[in-house]
Amino acid sequence: MINLLESMNEFNIKNFIFSSSCCVYGQPDKLPVTENTPIKKAESPYGNTKHINEDILYDTINGKSC
């Protein structure tokens, strides 16, 4: 994700579509899951990497860095 975002910046690409997964919500307390559902710890490596990528995107959009 970081390489993709750096490449987008280098080539002046402003938008892309990121498709996440309901796996980032862990085991929800109620269904259906919405964007307002609290995020819990993912139960799989796939869900965890999706969540990590969402965090990277959030930090990038909000100007946070190391």
- What percent of the chain is predicted at pLDDT more than 90? 39
The pLDDT-based confidence of 41 (bands split at 50, 70, 90) is confident
Catalytic residue among 9, 39, 41, 46: 46
Indicate if the pLDDT at residue 28 is higher than 90: no
Contacts of 58 (CB under 8 A, 6+ apart): none
Q: Is 58 a catalytic residue?
A: no
Whole-prediction pTM: 0.74
Residue where the block lists tokens 């946070």? 64
Residue 48, Cβ density class (10 Å: 0-12 exposed, 13-18 middle, ≥19 buried): middle
42-53 tens-digit pLDDT: 888 998 999 899
Indicate if the pLDDT at residue 66 is higher than 70: no
